[in-house]
A and B are shown apart, each in its own frame.
Chain A
Amino acid sequence: MKIVILGCGRVGATLATMMDRAGHTVSIIDSSSDSFQRLDPGFNGETILGNGIDGEVLVRAGIKDADAFAAVTNGDNRNIMASQIAKEIFKVKKVVCRIYDPIRQSTYNELGLESISPTIVGAELLFGAITGNKPEALHERKG
Protein backbone atom coordinates (compact mmCIF):
# COMPACT_ATOMS: atom_id res chain seq x y z
CA MET A 1 0.00 0.00 0.00
CA LYS A 2 1.09 3.55 -0.64
CA ILE A 3 0.92 5.93 2.30
CA VAL A 4 1.56 9.66 2.63
CA ILE A 5 2.50 10.86 6.12
CA LEU A 6 2.35 14.55 7.05
CA GLY A 7 4.71 15.56 9.85
CA CYS A 8 8.09 14.00 10.59
CA GLY A 9 8.16 14.41 14.34
CA ARG A 10 8.65 11.49 16.70
CA VAL A 11 5.35 9.85 15.81
CA GLY A 12 5.55 10.58 12.08
CA ALA A 13 9.13 9.31 11.78
CA THR A 14 8.35 6.17 13.78
CA LEU A 15 5.21 5.47 11.76
CA ALA A 16 7.13 6.01 8.52
CA THR A 17 9.84 3.59 9.59
CA MET A 18 7.27 0.97 10.66
CA MET A 19 5.38 1.25 7.39
CA ASP A 20 8.59 1.11 5.36
CA ARG A 21 9.77 -2.01 7.19
CA ALA A 22 6.37 -3.63 6.63
CA GLY A 23 6.98 -3.26 2.90
CA HIS A 24 4.72 -0.29 2.15
CA THR A 25 5.59 2.64 -0.09
CA VAL A 26 6.00 5.70 2.11
CA SER A 27 6.38 9.40 1.43
CA ILE A 28 6.72 11.76 4.34
CA ILE A 29 6.21 15.54 4.32
CA ASP A 30 7.64 18.11 6.72
CA SER A 31 8.23 21.83 6.54
CA SER A 32 11.71 21.53 8.07
CA SER A 33 14.43 19.43 6.45
CA ASP A 34 16.06 18.84 9.86
CA SER A 35 13.08 16.73 10.87
CA PHE A 36 13.99 14.03 8.36
CA GLN A 37 17.04 13.20 10.50
CA ARG A 38 14.60 11.43 12.82
CA LEU A 39 14.01 8.77 10.15
CA ASP A 40 15.75 5.42 10.37
CA PRO A 41 19.05 5.49 8.37
CA GLY A 42 17.77 2.55 6.30
CA PHE A 43 14.50 4.34 5.39
CA ASN A 44 13.65 3.63 1.75
CA GLY A 45 10.76 6.05 1.36
CA GLU A 46 10.61 9.54 -0.07
CA THR A 47 10.96 12.78 1.88
CA ILE A 48 9.15 15.91 0.71
CA LEU A 49 9.88 19.38 2.02
CA GLY A 50 6.84 21.63 2.18
CA ASN A 51 3.61 22.80 3.74
CA GLY A 52 1.05 20.01 4.13
CA ILE A 53 -2.02 22.17 3.53
CA ASP A 54 -0.69 23.15 0.10
CA GLY A 55 -2.32 20.94 -2.54
CA GLU A 56 0.76 21.11 -4.76
CA VAL A 57 2.97 19.72 -1.99
CA LEU A 58 0.51 16.87 -1.42
CA VAL A 59 0.55 16.09 -5.15
CA ARG A 60 4.37 16.02 -5.11
CA ALA A 61 4.13 13.48 -2.28
CA GLY A 62 1.97 11.29 -4.52
CA ILE A 63 -1.39 11.85 -2.83
CA LYS A 64 -3.24 11.22 -6.08
CA ASP A 65 -2.50 7.49 -6.02
CA ALA A 66 -2.10 7.06 -2.26
CA ASP A 67 -4.14 4.42 -0.43
CA ALA A 68 -3.75 6.10 2.93
CA PHE A 69 -2.93 9.47 4.50
CA ALA A 70 -1.93 10.19 8.08
CA ALA A 71 -1.63 13.72 9.52
CA VAL A 72 0.63 13.87 12.57
CA THR A 73 2.14 17.39 12.70
CA ASN A 74 2.14 19.08 16.09
CA GLY A 75 -0.72 21.39 15.05
CA ASP A 76 -4.25 20.06 15.48
CA ASN A 77 -5.73 22.50 13.00
CA ARG A 78 -3.08 21.82 10.39
CA ASN A 79 -3.76 18.07 10.71
CA ILE A 80 -7.50 18.67 10.45
CA MET A 81 -7.25 20.83 7.34
CA ALA A 82 -4.73 18.58 5.57
CA SER A 83 -6.82 15.48 6.32
CA GLN A 84 -9.94 17.08 4.92
CA ILE A 85 -8.05 18.10 1.78
CA ALA A 86 -6.82 14.50 1.39
CA LYS A 87 -10.33 13.16 1.88
CA GLU A 88 -12.52 15.66 0.03
CA ILE A 89 -10.26 16.84 -2.80
CA PHE A 90 -7.98 13.86 -3.43
CA LYS A 91 -10.48 11.18 -2.33
CA VAL A 92 -7.91 9.14 -0.41
CA LYS A 93 -9.69 6.06 0.96
CA LYS A 94 -8.09 5.82 4.39
CA VAL A 95 -7.40 9.09 6.17
CA VAL A 96 -6.35 9.24 9.83
CA CYS A 97 -5.80 12.44 11.73
CA ARG A 98 -4.13 13.12 15.07
CA ILE A 99 -5.95 15.69 17.21
CA TYR A 100 -4.61 16.43 20.71
CA ASP A 101 -7.70 18.37 21.83
CA PRO A 102 -10.32 15.75 22.86
CA ILE A 103 -13.29 18.05 22.15
CA ARG A 104 -12.07 18.85 18.67
CA GLN A 105 -11.35 15.16 18.13
CA SER A 106 -14.89 14.08 19.01
CA THR A 107 -16.40 16.90 16.92
CA TYR A 108 -14.43 15.85 13.84
CA ASN A 109 -15.26 12.20 14.44
CA GLU A 110 -18.92 13.25 14.29
CA LEU A 111 -18.13 14.94 10.98
CA GLY A 112 -16.80 11.64 9.66
CA LEU A 113 -13.09 12.32 9.94
CA GLU A 114 -11.32 9.36 11.53
CA SER A 115 -9.14 10.82 14.26
CA ILE A 116 -7.14 9.77 17.28
CA SER A 117 -6.55 11.84 20.40
CA PRO A 118 -3.25 10.88 22.04
CA THR A 119 -4.33 12.96 25.03
CA ILE A 120 -7.16 10.57 25.87
CA VAL A 121 -5.25 7.44 24.86
CA GLY A 122 -2.17 8.50 26.85
CA ALA A 123 -4.11 9.51 29.95
CA GLU A 124 -6.01 6.20 29.89
CA LEU A 125 -2.75 4.23 29.66
CA LEU A 126 -1.28 6.18 32.57
CA PHE A 127 -4.46 5.73 34.60
CA GLY A 128 -4.28 2.00 33.97
CA ALA A 129 -0.60 1.81 34.88
CA ILE A 130 -1.21 3.59 38.17
CA THR A 131 -4.48 2.00 39.31
CA GLY A 132 -4.65 -1.25 37.39
CA ASN A 133 -8.21 -0.26 36.34
CA LYS A 134 -9.83 1.31 33.32
CA PRO A 135 -10.99 4.91 33.80
CA GLU A 136 -14.62 5.93 33.38
CA ALA A 137 -15.32 7.68 30.13
CA LEU A 138 -15.12 11.46 30.51
CA HIS A 139 -18.32 13.38 29.99
CA GLU A 140 -17.88 15.73 27.15
CA ARG A 141 -19.42 19.13 27.63
CA LYS A 142 -21.28 20.17 24.57
CA GLY A 143 -22.34 23.71 23.77
Chain B
Amino acid sequence: MPEKEMKEIPYFGQYPVSKQVISLQNDRGTKYEMYLKVQNELVAAYNELRQELAKKKFGKDYNKITKEQRDAINEIYPQRISEAEPKNIGGK
Protein backbone atom coordinates (compact mmCIF):
# COMPACT_ATOMS: atom_id res chain seq x y z
CA MET B 1 0.00 0.00 0.00
CA PRO B 2 1.29 3.48 -0.78
CA GLU B 3 2.54 5.79 1.89
CA LYS B 4 0.09 8.03 3.70
CA GLU B 5 0.48 11.62 4.63
CA MET B 6 -1.46 13.56 7.27
CA LYS B 7 -3.20 16.48 5.64
CA GLU B 8 -5.46 19.21 6.89
CA ILE B 9 -8.77 18.79 5.07
CA PRO B 10 -11.86 20.94 5.57
CA TYR B 11 -14.67 19.07 7.36
CA PHE B 12 -12.30 16.20 8.19
CA GLY B 13 -9.42 17.87 10.10
CA GLN B 14 -6.22 15.90 10.03
CA TYR B 15 -6.73 13.01 7.67
CA PRO B 16 -4.29 10.44 6.33
CA VAL B 17 -4.19 10.91 2.58
CA SER B 18 -2.62 8.30 0.41
CA LYS B 19 0.14 9.28 -1.97
CA GLN B 20 -1.25 6.88 -4.52
CA VAL B 21 -0.78 7.15 -8.23
CA ILE B 22 -2.20 4.68 -10.69
CA SER B 23 0.14 4.07 -13.55
CA LEU B 24 -1.41 2.86 -16.75
CA GLN B 25 0.56 1.58 -19.64
CA ASN B 26 -0.82 0.26 -22.86
CA ASP B 27 0.49 -1.23 -26.03
CA ARG B 28 0.11 0.53 -29.36
CA GLY B 29 -1.86 -2.47 -30.51
CA THR B 30 -4.39 -2.30 -27.69
CA LYS B 31 -7.93 -1.78 -28.84
CA TYR B 32 -9.45 1.54 -27.88
CA GLU B 33 -12.46 -0.24 -26.47
CA MET B 34 -10.31 -2.14 -23.98
CA TYR B 35 -8.42 1.01 -23.04
CA LEU B 36 -11.64 2.87 -22.37
CA LYS B 37 -13.01 0.01 -20.31
CA VAL B 38 -9.92 0.03 -18.11
CA GLN B 39 -10.13 3.80 -17.72
CA ASN B 40 -13.79 3.40 -16.92
CA GLU B 41 -13.08 0.87 -14.18
CA LEU B 42 -10.42 3.10 -12.65
CA VAL B 43 -12.74 6.09 -12.57
CA ALA B 44 -15.50 3.86 -11.22
CA ALA B 45 -13.22 2.79 -8.39
CA TYR B 46 -12.48 6.39 -7.47
CA ASN B 47 -16.16 7.22 -7.60
CA GLU B 48 -16.98 4.29 -5.38
CA LEU B 49 -14.48 5.39 -2.74
CA ARG B 50 -15.75 8.94 -2.87
CA GLN B 51 -19.33 7.82 -2.67
CA GLU B 52 -18.52 5.62 0.33
CA LEU B 53 -16.84 8.46 2.17
CA ALA B 54 -19.63 10.90 1.35
CA LYS B 55 -22.16 8.47 2.78
CA LYS B 56 -20.09 7.90 5.89
CA LYS B 57 -19.27 11.52 6.61
CA PHE B 58 -22.26 13.43 5.31
CA GLY B 59 -24.88 10.73 5.04
CA LYS B 60 -25.66 11.76 1.47
CA ASP B 61 -24.75 10.75 -2.04
CA TYR B 62 -21.53 12.17 -3.42
CA ASN B 63 -23.37 14.13 -6.07
CA LYS B 64 -25.89 15.52 -3.57
CA ILE B 65 -23.42 17.21 -1.21
CA THR B 66 -22.16 20.79 -1.59
CA LYS B 67 -19.23 21.71 -3.77
CA GLU B 68 -17.03 22.44 -0.73
CA GLN B 69 -17.76 19.01 0.71
CA ARG B 70 -17.06 17.44 -2.64
CA ASP B 71 -13.77 19.28 -2.93
CA ALA B 72 -12.79 18.01 0.51
CA ILE B 73 -13.50 14.44 -0.52
CA ASN B 74 -11.65 14.91 -3.78
CA GLU B 75 -8.66 16.07 -1.79
CA ILE B 76 -8.74 12.86 0.20
CA TYR B 77 -9.17 10.72 -2.88
CA PRO B 78 -7.51 12.65 -5.68
CA GLN B 79 -7.85 11.07 -9.07
CA ARG B 80 -4.33 10.40 -10.22
CA ILE B 81 -4.05 8.28 -13.29
CA SER B 82 -0.70 8.49 -14.95
CA GLU B 83 -0.22 7.14 -18.43
CA ALA B 84 3.18 5.79 -19.25
CA GLU B 85 4.65 5.84 -22.72
CA PRO B 86 3.03 3.01 -24.65
CA LYS B 87 4.89 -0.14 -25.44
CA ASN B 88 5.20 -1.36 -28.96
CA ILE B 89 5.05 -5.08 -28.78
CA GLY B 90 2.30 -5.65 -31.28
CA GLY B 91 3.71 -3.20 -33.82
CA LYS B 92 1.68 -0.44 -35.42
A binds B: no
